[in-house]
Structure 1
């Protein structure tokens, strides 16, 4: 059951996104005839227009967060028993959805004896509309993970 397949693509893009390999066109006499240029991506607004929360790129997540995204994309196995359990959104910081829509996953914190405070919460939706949020402070605040 791979519900979050685009997250795998998101993780790959985050890992490879920093690699900028110049491309050159056909060569004639040692000189490039044409060089490809990368079009600038349109600027993303500072906040997600749906949730109103600030964005965070997958590449900006801590290393453990990127690993957790990979586990979500591959449907586990997850290291903690509570991973994949329903997130109730009692804080009402995420967009309101029917109960059971959101699932939470642990982002391990080095040096912690327990699950720590970091989580990724994803809407239980089929791709490509899956949406995920990151909290570093046990649900006191969230950032929308950019698709």
Structure 2
């Protein structure tokens, strides 16, 4: 568990951003599926993301949902994900991309 000062300091650091067009084509496809409500290829897509790493802005449980970004050649779900937050899954307030299974995030901008 992080000391309060560490969590507060992390919140003040600006989140890196990435343009949607700069993401791998599989991520762009996943983003389109999120906005259209699916159907999603993986059963865990749309499940609640707990933000246990505390790398995303702090929100109440259930705010964030995660979606798999297909990794060519991977035999499992791979490490790439898009995590979106908001009250309506098809109209997220913000989406974030991770290529390293939640070790880092970049906010997706269009």
TM-score (norm 1): 0.63
Match of 2:108 in 1: 145
Give the length in aligned residue pairs. 99
Runs of 4+ in 1 over 2 A off after TM superposition: 124-129
Q: Alignment partner of 2:28: what SS? A: helix
Q: Alignment partner of 1:120: what SS? A: strand
- Structure 2, unmatched stretches of 5+, are 1-10
Match of 2:22 in 1: 60
- 2:76 aligns with one of 114, 118, 125: 114
**By how many angstroms is 1:130 displaced?**
1.4
Q: Alignment partner of 1:56: what SS? A: strand
Hey, what's the Cα distance between the residues in 2 that align with 1:132 and 1:105? 10
Q: Which protein has the larger Cα radius of gyration, Structure 1 or Structure 2?
A: 1
| Pairwise CA RMSD | 2.0
User: Which structure shows the higher strand fraction?
Assistant: 2
- Structure 1, unmatched stretches of 5+, are 1-48
Q: Does residue 92 of structure 1 match 2:48?
A: no
Q: Alignment partner of 2:107: what SS? A: strand
**By how many angstroms is 1:53 displaced?**
1.2
Query: In the alignment, is the contact (CA less than 8 A) between 1:51 and 1:95 conserved in 2?
Result: no
User: Which structure shows the higher helix fraction?
Assistant: 2
